[in-house]
Amino acid sequence: MSDYDTDFYWWTQTQAAALRAKDLAALDLDNLAEEIESLGRSDRRAIVSHLERLLLHLLKYHAQPQGRGPTWRSTIRHARREIAKLLAESPSLHDYPGRQLAAAYRHAREDAGDETDLPLATFPETCPWMPAQVLDADFWPDA
């Protein structure tokens, strides 16, 4: 077994050192390629996760004005900031939230029904907001 299989942290450190030293013979190219690809997938998964949380709280904010407190506003702001950070670090993912909006909205809608005990029909079947609105720090849906 390789260090990759038995001690991942050690493997990362030795691979980083080999890269810096340009020691091509010491590089585990197949596993390095896999890990680099994994980093990109991780960013995409994080964007979708934050987007679902953001949409969930926007739906709750819209449907339950009596619940609009600092926790919901903070959760909405935090999700927007996290998405913005990921997009700043990876500008090629700029359009990714928009491409994932419909699927993320479906999940958020289901969760909103569960978390609010409101009928699912309370929430529109398709996202009522444009991607730019969802990510806009100044956008707050009115009830």
Q: What does the pLDDT read at residue 142?
A: 84
CA distances from 92 to 95, 131, 136 (A): 8, 16, 19
Low-confidence ranges of the chain (pLDDT < 50): none
Distance CA 60, CA 118 (A): 10
Structural domain boundaries in the chain: 3-135
Q: pTM of the full predicted structure?
A: 0.85
Q: What does the pLDDT read at residue 1?
A: 62
Question: Which CATH code for domain 3-135?
Answer: 1.20.1220
